[in-house]
Structure 1
Amino acid sequence: MKITLTDLGKKYNREWVFRHLNFEISPGDTIAITGHNGSGKSTLLKVLGGYLTPSQGKVTYGDSKEHIQTQFSFAAPYLNLLEEFTLKEHLAFHNKFKKALCSHEEMLALSNLAGAEDKLVKDFSSGMKQRLRLVLAFFYESSLLLLDEPTSNLDQDGTDWYLSMLQKVSDEQTMIIASNQPQEYAGANHIISIENFKQGQ
């Protein structure tokens, strides 16, 4: 998916989080958004995903005419899950909107969530919840992956699994990762430092 950022900016009250951001993302690119904690990485990711409206400029997604968010997968530690569902129910519900790339059994085996199928999501540990968010991002069809601090709450095994999944993502899939940890965006071919786009504050 080709994505074009034209004079993009976002401010809260009178303070610019970022401003005058011009960038073109080509299909298959892996983009890292970097910066210190609180610098605006998550805000930029939400604008790119259409979850926040920019204060200036625009984001263009190729020539797509359909509802663009149906083509996205978004994983972040602050995103809510369906806590009253069991894991099995959550996957089945997600399947109504996006095509699974493998069986649910394979997803759970690969993510080390096998055996938790009938457990309520609200009873998951924070690490299990983050694994589930990543399962929903990696194992369902989408042309754009948006990942915000993807290894948050993961132990070393979970981090290793995440890094292995980065290597398996299709070359045709565009990925944007907001992080200040280099290992989380290993292999990125472009880096956007949010610190470079704070003019006009």
Structure 2
Amino acid sequence: MSAIAIKAENLSKAYMTGQISHGTLIRDFESWLAKVRKKGDPYGKIDQIKNLSSNATIWALKNINFEIAKGETIAITGDNGAGKSTLLKILSRVTLPTTGKITVNGRITSLLEIGAGFHPELTGRENIFLYGAMLGMRKSQIKNHFDEITHFADIEGHLETPVKRYSSGMYMRLAFSVAAHLDSEILIIDEIMAVGDSSFQKKCLDKIKNLSKENGKTILLVSHNAKNIQSLCSREIGLVN
């Protein structure tokens, strides 16, 4: 059995003029889904791209190489536009690399944008099952972890309330809790620590540490918070423009 969770070999991703990356994985996924359904891009407008020729190629990633061992907690760092979201899209199988190879040993759960899979008219209870299914969890798994999910999110008294009435903090707590209790080997977390109160941020940090040390999960964390990176991660993979 391989001790490597993720390996990238000469990984590159190019976009042509007219292929617009929107900055968040969920928006790029929705644009991809609209294309598959032969509908218009809900976000993209060609005239938003400035100073590019009709055959311009933009390299979001170029010749990226790294290995991540099973059980490591790794920070993905870099300035805006360095390719962090593109790398996460490739790892999450939302998009394919233009050249190179990515090898993943294990199931991946990606927490890309807080509450992106929630339906506002459904209750907290219903959204746990909906969001869990979107993240790849079977109904039996959700039932097995249901009490843990609701207790960690601290929403036991609001399970029958439609999530449209939840605060942004409640959204975050529930979304993180569902993702953190999935039975997967690799967890990708994209800037979730930017929202939520300090007490829940600490709770999330402690949970991530626990998932790595006690459950042996491999964790990739995108963050601009140097303190969080130092606290959680054994090393970082830095992307440059």
CA, structure 1 residues 97+60, in 2 after alignment: closer, same or farther (shift >3 Å)? farther
**Contact 1:6 / 1:58 at 8 angstroms: preserved in 2?**
yes
Residues 76-87 of structure 1 aligned to structure 2 (within 5 Å): 76-77=112-113, 80-83=116-119, 84-87=121-124
**Contact 1:101 / 1:139 at 8 angstroms: preserved in 2?**
no
User: Do residues 26 (structure 1) and 74 (structure 2) align?
Assistant: no
**Corresponding residue pairs, total:** 189
**Contact 1:3 / 1:24 at 8 angstroms: preserved in 2?**
yes
Alpha-carbon distance between aligned partners in 1 of 2:151 and 2:211, rounded to the nearest angstrom = 18
3-state DSSP of counterpart to 2:170:
helix
User: Do residues 74 (structure 1) and 110 (structure 2) align?
Assistant: yes
What's the offset of the Cα at 1:110?
Answer: 2.2
Alpha-carbon distance between aligned partners in 2 of 1:128 and 1:88, rounded to the nearest angstrom = 13
Residues 10-159 of structure 1 aligned to structure 2 (within 5 Å): 10-13=13-16, 14-62=57-105, 71-77=107-113, 80-83=116-119, 84-93=121-130, 94=132, 96=138, 99-100=141-142, 103-159=145-201
* CA offsets 1:43-79 (integer angstroms, 9 cap, x no match): 21111111121122121123xxxxx7xx221113366
CA, structure 1 residues 98+44, in 2 after alignment: closer, same or farther (shift >3 Å)? farther
1:158 is aligned with what amino acid? Answer: F
CA, structure 1 residues 50+38, in 2 after alignment: closer, same or farther (shift >3 Å)? same
1:90 is aligned with what amino acid? Answer: N
When you count helix as a share of all residues, which structure comes out higher? Answer: 2
Alpha-carbon distance between aligned partners in 2 of 1:173 and 1:12, rounded to the nearest angstrom = 32
Alpha-carbon distance between aligned partners in 1 of 2:115 and 2:84, rounded to the nearest angstrom = 15
What's the offset of the Cα at 1:98?
Answer: 7.2
1:178 is aligned with what amino acid? Answer: V
Structure 1 stretches lacking a partner, 5+ long? 63-67
Bigger RCO (CA 8 Å, 6+ sep): 1
1:144 is aligned with what amino acid? Answer: I
Alpha-carbon distance between aligned partners in 2 of 1:145 and 1:101, rounded to the nearest angstrom = 20
What's the offset of the Cα at 1:111?
Answer: 2.4
Q: 1:7 aligns with which of 3, 10, 17?
A: 10
* CA offsets 1:69-116 (integer angstroms, 9 cap, x no match): xx2211133662231321111223425357259642332222222312
Find runs of 4+ consecutive structure 1 residues off by over 6 angstroms: none
TM-score, normalised to structure 1, is 0.83
Equivalence for 2:203: 161
The root-mean-square deviation of aligned C-alpha atoms, in Å, is 2.3
Larger radius of gyration: 2
Structure 2 stretches lacking a partner, 5+ long? 17-56
Amino-acid identity (%):
29
Alpha-carbon distance between aligned partners in 1 of 2:67 and 2:236, rounded to the nearest angstrom = 12
**Contact 2:73 / 2:233 at 8 angstroms: preserved in 1?**
yes
Alpha-carbon distance between aligned partners in 2 of 1:127 and 1:90, rounded to the nearest angstrom = 16
